[in-house]
Amino acid sequence: MNIGDKYLVVIPFFSGGAQGREIVYAVEGWRKHFKEPYHIAIVGDKPEGVRDGDDISFVPCERVGEVKSGIYRPHIDIINKFLKAHEVFPDTKGFIYVADDVYAVNNFDIHDIMTIKQNGDDLIILPDLNEGWNSEKGRTRDILSRNGYPTKNFTTHLPVWFDWDKLLAMIERFDMTHQSYIIETMYFNIYYPDRVPMQLNIYYDNLKCGVYRPNPRMYIIREAFEKKIWIQNSIQGWIPELDAMLSKYYNI
């Protein structure tokens, strides 16, 4: 499919991982606030409730099968969905990758996306994170270190721009259809090792309000609708109060 000069926005989607209407709000955020020509591709399962339109395509792609022990299945699945997107949109030079639980609540453009951002100077293993994610952080840190790259934490859970040539070369070099690593952390440490990225900080940046626990400080979330571009949540942070606020904001 040829989308011309529009920016391709790829959202990998697995319905079994959805807790509610996250992807409905995510899509509406792009429609309401992205001030560039765009085309959204939801690659994977077709979600319920997302409005059809000329600005969106639903690209069927089954979830990858079970993987061997020690491999993080979600990342293998995302890589597979990226390759499917490249097959369907071969004329694009790159794309915006974003998860299905990232909600734009203020206007933004491509410069906000292409600014390189990070969540810290190293991939720190935290004991309260799930075992699969901690293992993936360790694997990613090890492979980067062995190849002489920095190990900055580029997992921001915000939209990022991937150049197809760079991404495909990385996938092939590190066999990322079979070996799982944190994709954005690999990409930015490999291709931009000498950059000084923007450091995210919920109190000071204008970019993200992350909701990561079931008892968040609600005043911070309320303020985010005026002071941040994106609100984002984890599984633990998907709470009825956030759902209600997003439903009211997008009027859906």
Mean pLDDT of 116-131: 75
pLDDT band of 130, cuts 50, 70, 90:
low
Rounded mean pLDDT of the chain?
94
pLDDT of residue 128: 57
Pick from 154, 147, 146: nearest CA to 120: 154
More confident residue, 26 or 128: 26
* C-alpha dist (Å) from residue 164 to 161, 167, 171, 176: 10, 5, 10, 14
Asked whether residue 180 is assigned to any structural domain, the reply reads yes
Percent of the chain with pLDDT over 90: 88
Asked whether residue 217 is assigned to any structural domain, the reply reads no
pTM of the model: 0.95
pLDDT of residue 133: 76
Asked whether residue 224 is assigned to any structural domain, the reply reads no
Asked whether residue 109 is assigned to any structural domain, the reply reads yes
Number of structural domains the chain divides into: 1
Q: Which residue range forms the structural domain that includes residue 120?
A: 7-201
Residue found under tokens 């000069």:
5
- Exposed/middle/buried for 28, CB within 10 Å: 0-12, 13-18, 19+? buried
Asked whether residue 249 is assigned to any structural domain, the reply reads no
pLDDT of residue 121: 78
Asked whether residue 191 is assigned to any structural domain, the reply reads yes
| Main-chain phi, psi angles of 191, to 5 degrees | -95, -20
How many residues are present in the chain? 252
| CATH number of the domain enclosing 63 | 3.90.550.10
Pick from 36, 157, 54: nearest CA to 100: 157
Pick from 116, 115, 123, 165: nearest CA to 144: 123
DSSP labels for 70-90?
Answer: T--HHHHHHHHHHHHHHHH-T
